Amino acid sequence: MAPTVDAIPPLRNGRRGRPRQRPDKLHADKAYDARARRRKCRARGIRPRIARRGIERSDRLGRHRWVVERSHAWFNRARRLPVRYERRADIYEAFTLLQASLITLRQIRRFC
């Protein structure tokens, strides 16, 4: 987990000054529950929000992670995307962009 956190690019939030190098909080599920991981997050100035095994339910974390899971589900509606059948990357990318445009079109229709 530490190399992934260290690889996060500087965050730009529109304010003047030097951009933050690390996020304020880290949300993770029960698989990342370990004292060493929590300690490493705190050493980097990040507040860990990790569900604890046997104590805390992970559905409270779902409020923050639901948007990503929903987006994955939208992409999985296209039957070609979850299992990659195309050998060429450009064709797979074209289908991914087509699905992204269809998702965007549905959202525009829904809100307009």
Task: Give me the residue spans of the domains in the chain.
Answer: 1-50, 61-109
CA–CA distances in Å: residue 105 to residues 53, 72, 99, 102: 41, 17, 10, 5
Per-residue pLDDT of the chain (112 residues; tens, 9 = 90+): 888 888 877 777 777 777 777 778 888 878 888 889 899 989 988 898 887 877 756 556 555 556 777 888 888 888 777 777 778 889 889 889 999 999 999 999 988 7
DSSP codes of every residue in 28-95: E-GGG--HHHHHHHHHTT-EEEEPPTTTS-GGGTHHHHHHHHHHHHHHHTSTTTTTT--SSHHHHHHH
Q: How far apart are CA 7 and CA 25, in angstroms?
A: 15
pLDDT number for residue 101: 94
26 by Cβ neighbours in 10 Å (0-12 / 13-18 / 19+) ranks as buried
